[in-house]
Structure 1
Amino acid sequence: MPTVEVDSFTDLQDTFFSYVRDIKYATMITVDRRNRPRARVLLPVWEVVDGRPVGWLAVYRTPVKTAHLAHSPHTTYSYWNPRQNTVHVDALSTWAEAPADRRHAWDLYLQGSPPGVGYDPVHFWRGGPEDPGYHVIRIDPWRVQLVRGSDLRSTIWRPAAAGGDALPDAADGLARASRRP
């Protein structure tokens, strides 16, 4: 079956949220300074801002994550379920240190975003969004691929960009990540 490419996230938004709600946990892949991959399973929350998906990830700021993101903010988040439905999110991931961003992510985890995905972060960070151990990564996707397991139908979203280049460089992602939705 041919791959369908779309430039409006709206075209796959419902399926994206359906798969994320069903699967919940994603494997986050980063690379070290020698470009060797490292995977870990985490639970991002998602929203749509100005027609684009934006993810938020509550984490402990470990030395490995810190070093990897300092080397390259390019990451992949991969979701899979036994029916072979998958979501692959290629993104720029940056530390969101502003108090408003930390509070925003906290609130998305509490409410579930999408509904059914999230948890009460106070179970991990008793001091709330101001807890010194609570950190947030903002996820700005530049490509999302959905694969339906029943027939392997694939849909890929890449945002339309000025000049036709949907692949951001690290500086673009860092500038975008510093803006609040």
Structure 2
Amino acid sequence: MAQKVDKFSVIEDRFFEYIQGIKYCSLITVDKKGRPRARVLLPIWEVVDGQPVGWLAAYRTPVKVAHLARNPHVTCSYWDHSQNAVFVDSVAGWVEDPDVKREVWDLYRKGSPPGVGYDPRRYWRGGPTDPEYGLLRMDAWRVQVLRGTDLASRIWQADGTA
């Protein structure tokens, strides 16, 4: 049975603990025919005004661009062999602001949470101004954290998103 929580802070520690351990997620978008499409990626997360915000350094592939232009809703699905899982439903959008792109570049380099991240220069040699460096912001509206040992599930949902 899932337990709903009023504030993200109630599940924040476990959210970051699981993401730190799992690292990679399946990011699911929706195509023009309403079919899901998954790919494995490594987002980083922070809490802004009490709510989780995800960042994804990614190439702006034609498929991702088309999917998000048509339907900006995405899901990040994390899972490990102990059955711990995190599901994050978000609204995603491309970020063009060079200051934000630089800030997130640095977040990737130091890891958010610690241990989750990498040096983005491995993919974008031109640094945060590399024209191939795309950045997605994911504003979470629902987060479910599932502990595999007893299948205890806790769900946070942003106000007005039921």
| In structure 2, distance between residues paired with 1:98 and 1:28 | 23
TM-score, length basis structure 2? 0.98
Corresponding residue of 1:154: 153
| In structure 1, distance between residues paired with 2:11 and 2:36 | 28
Unmatched runs of 5 consecutive residues or more in structure 2: none
| In structure 2, distance between residues paired with 1:92 and 1:139 | 5
The superposition leaves residues 130-179 of structure 1 with CA deviations (integer Å, 9 ceiling, x where unpaired) of 001001000100000011000000000012x3xxx225xxxxxxxxxxxx
Which structure shows the higher strand fraction? 2
Code of the residue aligned with 2:156 in structure 1: it is W
| In structure 2, distance between residues paired with 1:132 and 1:25 | 24
Corresponding residue of 1:176: none
Q: Secondary structure at the match of 1:139?
A: strand
Corresponding residue of 1:131: 130
Corresponding residue of 1:12: 11
Work out which of the residue numbers 157, 166, 176 in structure 1 matches 2:161. 166
| In structure 1, distance between residues paired with 2:25 and 2:77 | 5
| In structure 1, distance between residues paired with 2:142 and 2:21 | 20
Q: Secondary structure at the match of 1:12?
A: helix
Corresponding residue of 1:91: 90
Code of the residue aligned with 2:88 in structure 1: it is V
- Are residues 1:55 and 2:50 paired? no
TM-score, length basis structure 1? 0.88
Corresponding residue of 1:22: 21
How far does residue 97 in structure 1 lie from its aligned partner after superposition? 1.0
How far does residue 40 in structure 1 lie from its aligned partner after superposition? 0.1
Corresponding residue of 1:108: 107
| In structure 2, distance between residues paired with 1:37 and 1:158 | 22
| In structure 2, distance between residues paired with 1:51 and 1:104 | 19
Corresponding residue of 1:43: 42
Runs of 4+ with deviation above 3 angstroms? none
| In structure 2, distance between residues paired with 1:122 and 1:137 | 17
Q: Secondary structure at the match of 2:27?
A: strand
Corresponding residue of 1:121: 120
Cα root mean square deviation, aligned: 0.8
